[in-house]
Every structure is written in C-alpha cells, then in structure tokens.
C-alpha cells in the first residue's frame, strides 16, 4: 500500500518530469514503483495507465506535501526557479 502523501508526491513527480496533470488515483501505480524503488534491468517493461485528469480533483494539490514554486513571468525568474 502507499500513503496519501506518497500518492500526492507521485502526482507532482508526473507533473514535473512528464508534464502530466493526473488525478491522485492515477498516480497510485507511480507511487508504488517509487516506494518499492523497483530496479528494472532494461529487459522489462512496466506500463502505468494514468487516465484520470488532474482537474477531477484540483483540491488535492493544496494537500500536497511539496508546494509548487512560483515565478514571475520573465525568463530570468523562470530560470532561477528551474535551477534551484
């Protein structure tokens, strides 16, 4: 099983790394893989179906343990956020 926090972290991970805004239920398989830290040898394929859009539960993001970063709409400000 995975916790609610792990699911919300997986939801944010998908948004950050893949550009996918999925509902929390769709992030469960990703949360499981991250929790188990499964190592694949390159010969295995894992498919995670993420069909639910994040707009089904937009309030879930406000419960996320990691807050979204904001930047002013300038290239320099965006670079600063992306570079950490």
6 pLDDT tier (thresholds 50, 70, 90): very high
The domain segmentation of the chain, as residue ranges, is 4-83
Is 2 a residue whose pLDDT tops 90? yes
What pLDDT is attached to residue 41? 72
- Rounded Cα distance between 60 and 54, Å, is 9
CATH topology of domain 4-83: Rossmann fold (3.40.50)
pLDDT, one tens digit per residue, over 18-63 is: 888 899 999 999 999 889 877 777 777 888 888 887 777 777 666 6
What pLDDT is attached to residue 69? 76
What pLDDT is attached to residue 66? 58
Residues paired with 53 in a beta bridge: 22
Q: Which residue has the higher pLDDT, 52 or 77?
A: 77
Handedness of CA 53, 59, 64, 67 (dihedral sign): positive
């Amino acid at each position: 099983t995975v916790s609610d926090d792990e699911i919300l972290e997986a939801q944010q991970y998908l948004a950050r790394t893949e550009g996918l805004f999925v509902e929390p239920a769709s992030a469960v398989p990703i949360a499981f893989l991250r929790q188990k830290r499964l190592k694949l040898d390159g010969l295995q394929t894992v498919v995670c179906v993420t069909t639910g859009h994040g707009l089904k539960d937009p309030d879930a993001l406000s419960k996320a343990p990691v807050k979204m970063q904001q930047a002013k709409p300038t290239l320099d400000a965006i670079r600063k956020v992306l570079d950490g």
